[in-house]
């Protein structure tokens, strides 16, 4: 379903039951960078307005980490990657951790100077991420705790603490292979006291429905991946991009938890307009407030990309393991 100004959720993850957690709960903001491919390619001033604004607002917004849904660059050339790397260096210097889920444009699936398919087998090329991992080696990710393939961050996991709660972020490659999905399915049970966020490039379509395809050159479809991972009671959010513009879908997992799936991607209009998804999470009030803000224009979109999720309940850090 499409995003709405007010969405009331019956529950997210498991009950908030531990005494004393409320006193520790602090409002924090989780920024999500939509596809920046047009910016790093053709409008770098927009891209730098995003990263510089987030660095300047780290303390006032209480930002624990920045997440990217991929398509960091447009073309598979060094110029695009050098711009992207310089932008994220602003986060490095500010001490802001980040995680990036590579998109199809962050691979050899695209050409050096074209977004069209590069010569060769596109199914094989989409798994070649040499430049992504060269410009963003594992050492750049402060909160990265492990990965599916050593030396590659295509599929990796990260942890952070915010609002008095533990969080686990898993990045999955574009229309992932079964190997990384099985790896994620084995990883999540090891973190029962963490609220899980999956960041992947392609999940929701523009109509707010889960994609039923592998985009024509991936492996598993978004639906197949979702069906494999939805059983976990601490799965809270799935963040994605790839298709314009914004959508919210809420599904209840088999364990009774609500799973929030949020799409954000504006690269098809005005070079993306430098819009950032800002997710303000208030554990004490039980809300997640979402909006799209552009520091370049100093504008917040007044449409269905702005919504509030109520009655949010998170997995407490000291939940009893049964």
Kindly report, residue by residue over 184-218, the tens digit of the pLDDT.
999 999 999 999 999 999 999 999 999 999 999 99
- Per the CB < 8 A criterion, the answer to whether 269 and 37 are in contact is no
Structural domain includes residue 318: no
Judged by phi (left if over 0) then psi (alpha if -120 to 50, else beta), residue 274 lies in left
- Per the CB < 8 A criterion, the answer to whether 155 and 246 are in contact is no
Q: How far apart are CA 221 and CA 272, in angstroms?
A: 26
Structural domain includes residue 212: yes
**What is the pLDDT confidence band of residue 45, given thresholds at 50, 70 and 90?**
very high
Judge if the upstream peptide bond of residue 236 is cis by omega within 30 degrees of 0: no
The whole-number pLDDT of residue 8 equals 36
The whole-number pLDDT of residue 25 equals 72
Structural domain includes residue 149: yes
- Per the CB < 8 A criterion, the answer to whether 12 and 312 are in contact is yes
Structural domain includes residue 182: yes
Structural domain includes residue 315: no
The whole-number pLDDT of residue 24 equals 61
Structural domain includes residue 320: no
Q: What is the CATH number of the domain that holds 295?
A: 3.60.21.10
What is the token pair recorded at 270? 């005005």
Q: What SS3 state is found at 109?
A: coil
Number of domains the chain contains: 1
Domain hosting residue 226, numbered range: 6-310
Which residues partner with 8 through β-bridges? Answer: 310
């Amino acid at each position: 379903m499409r995003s709405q100004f007010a969405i009331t959720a019956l529950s997210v993850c498991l009950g908030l039951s531990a005494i004393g957690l409320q006193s520790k709960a602090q409002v924090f903001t989780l920024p999500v960078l939509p596809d920046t491919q047009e910016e790093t390619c053709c409008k770098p001033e927009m891209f730098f307005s995003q990263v510089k604004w987030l660095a300047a607002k780290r303390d006032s917004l209480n930002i624990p980490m920045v997440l990217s849904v991929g398509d960091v660059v447009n073309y598979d050339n060094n110029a695009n990657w050098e711009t992207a790397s310089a932008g994220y260096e602003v986060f490095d210097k500010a001490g802001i951790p980040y995680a990036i889920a590579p998109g199809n444009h962050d691979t050899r699936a695209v050409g050096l100077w074209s977004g069209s398919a590069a010569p060769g087998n596109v199914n094989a090329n989409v798994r070649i991420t040499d430049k992504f991992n060269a410009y963003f080696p594992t050492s750049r990710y402060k909160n990265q705790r492990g990965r599916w393939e050593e030396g590659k961050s295509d599929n990796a996991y990260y942890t952070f603490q915010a609002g008095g709660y533990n969080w686990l972020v898993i990045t999955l490659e574009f229309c992932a292979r079964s190997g990384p999905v099985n790896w994620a399915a084995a990883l999540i049970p090891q973190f029962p006291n963490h609220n899980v966020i999956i960041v992947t490039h392609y999940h929701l379509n523009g109509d707010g429905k889960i994609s039923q395809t592998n985009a024509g050159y991936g492996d598993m479809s978004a639906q197949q991946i979702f069906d494999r991972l939805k059983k976990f009671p601490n799965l809270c959010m799935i963040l994605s991009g790839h298709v314009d513009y914004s959508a919210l879908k809420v599904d209840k997992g088999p364990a009774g938890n609500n799973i929030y799936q949020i799409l954000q991607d504006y690269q098809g209009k005005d070079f993306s307009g430098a819009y950032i998804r800002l997710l303000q999470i208030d554990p004490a009030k039980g809300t997640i407030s979402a909006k799209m803000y552009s520091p370049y224009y100093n504008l917040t979109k007044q449409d269905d990309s702005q919504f509030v999720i109520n009655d949010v309940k998170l997995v407490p850090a000291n939940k009893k393991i049964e």
